[in-house]
Amino acid sequence: MAFEFTDDNFQESALSNGVAVVDFWAEWCGPCKMIGPVIEELATDLDGKVTVGKMNVDSNQAIPMKYGVRSIPTILIIKDGEVVDKHVGVTSKQALLDKINAQLQ
């Protein structure tokens, strides 16, 4: 199951050492609902290797603002506290997996 990022836990959960994938989404967002199952699958597939999770932009506004999230879904790939990749919109599981695996090498 995908991790639930919040403004309060983001620092320790996403910016610690290692790789994190953060899906910025909202309940009312159609494309977010399309990418949601992909994020859940990645969370299961990469359990123990990568922190994969979601952040609801309606209930958490500080972090999306800090990272300039203006459109959703926006997916950030963070490695060792730095954003190393960003994708806006719907994409395939394989495309995301390729981007994540590039950071695990």
- The set of catalytic residues is 29, 32
List residues bridging with 73 in a β-sheet. none
| Nearest one of 37, 46, 24 to 104, comparing CA atoms | 46
* Nearest Cα to Cα of residue 66 among 14, 103, 3: 14
Beta strands in the chain (DSSP E): 3-4, 19-25, 51-56, 74-79, 82-88
